[in-house]
Amino acid sequence: MDGSIFFSADTKGNVLVVTLLRSVGSIAENDARDEWADLLEQADDEGIQHVLLDFTALHYFGSVMLEWMVTLWKKLREREGKLAICNVSSVGREILHTAKFDTLWDIHESRDEAFSSLGDAA
């Protein structure tokens, strides 16, 4: 994803590791939508089983990001994959808790912890 401004991604074994670089303020932002579509395409690759989202650079996120995360999670669930989340700020944790998404997804303190939670990831 050359030139990405919202997301950075690499693959480690069967895990797509996505680092969120800046907040997606509006669904009207074409660049953000295009980058997210690219990420979904990468997640569809047959070699990818799980996705790890790293929120290190993001203090806050809104409903657009939550909606996109649900879409991603549903894709992964279809093939028995997992979504792991790490480095979420206290504000971000509150957002996930309020939306009750902390009951759906593993939220971890570090990338290593999140990666380990994915089990068979290599």
What DSSP string runs through the chain? -TT-SSEEEEEETTEEEEEE-S----TT-HHHHHHHHHHHHHHTSTT--EEEEE-TT-S---HHHHHHHHHHHHHHHHTT--EEEE---HHHHHHHHHTTGGGTSEEESSHHHHHHHTSS--
Give pTM, 2 decimals: 0.86
Q: Specify the fold of 7-117.
A: Transcription Regulator spoIIAA (3.30.750)
Where in the chain are the domains?
7-117
4 pLDDT higher than 70: no
pLDDT tens per residue, range 75-109: 999 989 999 999 999 999 999 999 999 998 889 99
pLDDT tens per residue, range 12-25: 999 999 988 766 66
More confident residue, 60 or 99: 99
